[in-house]
Amino acid sequence: MGVASRLSQHHLVSRRRVTRRKPVVRRKLAWNDAIGAAPDVALPTPLPEPNADGLAPLGFDAPHVPSALDFPLTTLGFGDPLRWLAAGWQDFRRAPHIGLFFGVCFVLMGWALVGTFRRAPEYTLALSAGFLLMGPFLCLGLYHASRELEEGHRPSFGSALTAWRQSGAQLAIFAAVLLVLEMLWGRAAMIVFAISLDGVPDFNQPLASFLTEEYITFALIYTLVGAVFAGLIYAISVVSMPLLLDRQVDAVSAGLLSMRLVLTQTGVMLWWAALIAGLTLLALVPGFLGLLLVGPLLGHASWHAYRAAVPR
């Protein structure tokens, strides 16, 4: 018993004297992934070999992977928007069932806009802003169909309806940004309406009764405010929605890249915006029924505009 006690006591004392070494925290780098993710990035020469445990050598930094802001932009010409429309029409003819569904959605949105104008005209511009918010998201299905056709696949109706799932989180962030802009637009429109007019005008009166200084000033300010917000929404969304659908980028970078395209190639992008606005106005004439064709046509064409502006 005495020998056993001494051995046990010696064992405990020895364990107390053992100093535990803290694990060395070393940064684990995605060695092979970093190299494969950025093949065009200049790496150190010669490239350091990884350690036996798969870690990068100390003092080595992972190569910088370009963000969406680093994407090159193609120099566009004034004839390109017409080619986008021609390519969009071909996509519509190859998948008419998808295009007509979204065209019906656009027609219903137009009828809702007319009903609001007749019953509560002060909310017309705010509702228009809401439709500008919904339009790009409805076009996600058209973008998806154009991409499938581009890759030689036949797009399905179900996949077009659920195209938003591919980048749901970033699309939600982008939707929040557009929603804030839409709310600011609506508030600004209400303020202009309140300070310019004494009450809601009666639109059943003859047209000559609106040719007064008060109504003309109101129309100019109302249009100017709408143009500023519509231009801002157009600038951040002209290619950002197809970009979010096609590549794994964040919403902020996609919006900034879209603005960079508009600011660096303003003439062509203004021409593209004028074509969109002109075709949309023409589609409104026959009771919004023209949107059955013009809506999906512009959706498919917007995908080709993205493909032409942002090379692969």
pLDDT in tens, 135-166: 777 888 899 999 999 998 888 888 888 887 77
Q: Is residue 159 part of a domain?
A: yes
Higher pLDDT, 227 or 261: 261
Q: Is residue 129 part of a domain?
A: yes
Percent of the chain clearing pLDDT 70 (strictly above): 69
pLDDT, position 7 = 44
> Residue 183's domain spans which residues?
80-309
pLDDT, position 71 = 80
Q: Is residue 249 part of a domain?
A: yes
Query: In 10 A of CB 121, how many CB atoms?
Result: 13
Q: Is residue 288 part of a domain?
A: yes
Q: CB within 8 A of 117, min separation 6: which ones? A: 124
Nearest Cα to Cα of residue 30 among 76, 52, 2, 61: 61
Range among 178-182, 183-187, 258-262 with highest mean pLDDT value: 258-262
Q: Is residue 232 part of a domain?
A: yes
Q: Share the mean pLDDT of the chain.
A: 76
Domains in the chain: how many in total?
A: 1
Q: Is residue 34 part of a domain?
A: no
Q: Is residue 177 part of a domain?
A: yes
pLDDT, position 89 = 96
DSSP state of 70: G
Higher pLDDT, 277 or 194: 277
Q: Is residue 27 part of a domain?
A: no
pLDDT one-digit tens code per residue, 246-279: 888 888 889 999 999 999 999 999 999 999 999 9
54 sits in the region (left: phi over 0; alpha: psi -120 to 50; else beta) called: left
pLDDT one-digit tens code per residue, 49-95: 555 555 545 544 545 555 666 788 999 999 999 999 999 999 999 99
State CA 125 to chain mean position distance: 22
pTM, two decimals, is 0.69
